[in-house]
C-alpha cells in the first residue's frame, strides 16, 4: 500500500511538471490527465463519502479536460475564432481549479475528504491549470471577471459556514482570485501560490493534528502557548495582515494592479479580503478568548520542531520582502 501511494505521488507531481514545462497543448493535456488519474486513488479511502468525492472529482476534471481538448482541436482546425478559444480554455481551467463561477464542487469535495488530501487540492492541484492560463489565455476581460467572481464568492461563501474544511475551501477560492489577478506575470503568481501553500499547510496540519472538522470543536483544542501563537499568526497571515508573510503576495498583487490601472477591481479585492479576515478572526476568538477545555482523553503529541518551523514561516516577511526587491 505504501509503495502504491508513493508511486501515485510521483506520477501526480510528474504530471504537473509536464504541464508546467510543456510548450504544446497536447503535452499540457497529457500532464493534467496523469495528475488527475494519480490523485483519485490518493483521495479514495474506506468510506462512502470519499467514494462520492472521487466520483465528483473525476466527472468535473474529465469535463474540464474534454472542453480543453475540444477547444484546442477546433482552434487547430480553424473552426472557432481566437476569442472563443480563449474563453473555452479559461472555462476549462477554472473548472479544474474550482474557481468561481465553477466552484460548487470544490467545497463539497473538501468536506468529504481528509485534511491531508484537502492540502493537495488547495495547493498542488492549482499549479498546472494556473500555468496553462498563463501560457495560453490572452483575454483580459475574462480574467477580470474570474478574479471578481472568485474573490466575492470566496469571501461571502465562508461567512455562514461551521465546517472548517468548507471555510478553508472558500478561502482557497478567494486566494485563487488573487493568483489570477497577477497571473499575467508568471513569477508573481507562482510566488503567491508558494506562500499561500505554506500558510494553508500550516493551518491544515494544525487541524489535522487535533482532528478538528468544525468551528465548535476548536474550544476543546489543548493548545500550548506556542501553538496558539502559530494558529493566530497563520490565520492572520492567511488574511493578509501585516507584518505576517501572507501580506507579501497581496502587496505584490496590489502593485501589479496599480500599474495596470485596475483600481476598481483592486478595491473589490481589498474589501473581500476584509470579509475573509472577519471569519478568520471568528475562528481565532475561540482560540484566544474562550478557555480551552482540557480533556484527559485528548493527549496531543506536541512536536516542537514542527511548531517552531510553522512559526518561522509566518514571521519571515522581512526576509521575503528583501528577496522580492533583489
Tens-place pLDDT, residues 36-59: 999 999 888 777 788 899 999 999
| 3-state secondary structure (DSSP) of residue 101 | coil
Q: What residues make up the domain containing 8?
A: 2-325
Confidence of residue 212 (pLDDT cuts 50, 70, 90): confident
Contacts of 128 (CB under 8 A, 6+ apart): 15, 16, 19, 20, 28, 31, 32, 35, 96
Whether the CB-CB separation of 175 and 113 falls below 8 Å is answered with: no
Confidence of residue 10 (pLDDT cuts 50, 70, 90): very high
pLDDT tens figures, 168-180: 999 999 999 999 9
| 3-state secondary structure (DSSP) of residue 289 | coil
pLDDT at 39: 92
Confidence of residue 292 (pLDDT cuts 50, 70, 90): very low
Could you report how far apart the first and last alpha carbons of the chain are, in Å? 45
Name the range with the highest mean pLDDT among 18-32, 282-296, 297-311: 18-32
- Mean pLDDT over 280-299 rounds to 61
DSSP states along 127-174: HHHHHHHHHH---HHHHHHHHHHHHHHHHHHTTT--BHHHHHHHHHHH
Query: Does pLDDT of 131 surpass 60?
Result: yes
Query: Does pLDDT of 318 surpass 60?
Result: no
Q: Which of 234, 247, 145 is nearest to 192 (CA)?
A: 247
Query: Does pLDDT of 205 surpass 70?
Result: yes
Query: Does pLDDT of 291 surpass 50?
Result: no
CA distance 114 to 158: 19
| 3-state secondary structure (DSSP) of residue 214 | strand
Share the mean pLDDT of the chain: 83
Contacts of 315 (CB under 8 A, 6+ apart): 233, 244, 245
Query: Based on the structure, what is the number of domains in the chain?
Result: 1
Amino acid at each position: 500500500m505504501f509503495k502504491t501511494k508513493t508511486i501515485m505521488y510521483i506520477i501526480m507531481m510528474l504530471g504537473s511538471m509536464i504541464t508546467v514545462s510543456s510548450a504544446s497543448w497536447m503535452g499540457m493535456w497529457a500532464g493534467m490527465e496523469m495528475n488527475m488519474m494519480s490523485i483519485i486513488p490518493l483521495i479514495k479511502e474506506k468510506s462512502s463519502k470519499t467514494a462520492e468525492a472521487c466520483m465528483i472529482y473525476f466527472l468535473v476534471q474529465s469535463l474540464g479536460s474534454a472542453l480543453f481538448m475540444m477547444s484546442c482541436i477546433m482552434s487547430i482546425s480553424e473552426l472557432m475564432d481566437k476569442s472563443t478559444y480563449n474563453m473555452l480554455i479559461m472555462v476549462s481551467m477554472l473548472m479544474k481549479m474550482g474557481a468561481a463561477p465553477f466552484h460548487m464542487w470544490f467545497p463539497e469535495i473538501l468536506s468529504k475528504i481528509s485534511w491531508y488530501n484537502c492540502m493537495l487540492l488547495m495547493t498542488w492541484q492549482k499549479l498546472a491549470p494556473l500555468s496553462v492560463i498563463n501560457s495560453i489565455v490572452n483575454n483580459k476581460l475574462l480574467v477580470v471577471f474570474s478574479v471578481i467572481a472568485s474573490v466575492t464568492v470566496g469571501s461571502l461563501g465562508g461567512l455562514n459556514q461551521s465546517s472548517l474544511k468548507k471555510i478553508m475551501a472558500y478561502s482557497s477560492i478567494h486566494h485563487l482570485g488573487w493568483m489570477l489577478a497577477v497571473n499575467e506575470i508568471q513569477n508573481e503568481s507562482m510566488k503567491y501560490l508558494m506562500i499561500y501553500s505554506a500558510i494553508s499547510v500550516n493551518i491544515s496540519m494544525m487541524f489535522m493534528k487535533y482532528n478538528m472538522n468544525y468551528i465548535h470543536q476548536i474550544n476543546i483544542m489543548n493548545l500550548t502557548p506556542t501553538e496558539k501563537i502559530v494558529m493566530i499568526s497563520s490565520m492572520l497571515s492567511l488574511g493578509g495582515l501585516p507584518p505576517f508573510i501572507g501580506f507579501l503576495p497581496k502587496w505584490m498583487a496590489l502593485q501589479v494592479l496599480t500599474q495596470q490601472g485596475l483600481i476598481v477591481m483592486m478595491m473589490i479585492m481589498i474589501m473581500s479580503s476584509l470579509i475573509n479576515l472577519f471569519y478568520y478572526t471568528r475562528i481565532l476568538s475561540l482560540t484566544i478568548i474562550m478557555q480551552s477545555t482540557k480533556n484527559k482523553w485528548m493527549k496531543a503529541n506536541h512536536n516542537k520542531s514542527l511548531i517552531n518551523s510553522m512559526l518561522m514561516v509566518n514571521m519571515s516577511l522581512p526576509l521575503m520582502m528583501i528577496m522580492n526587491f533583489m
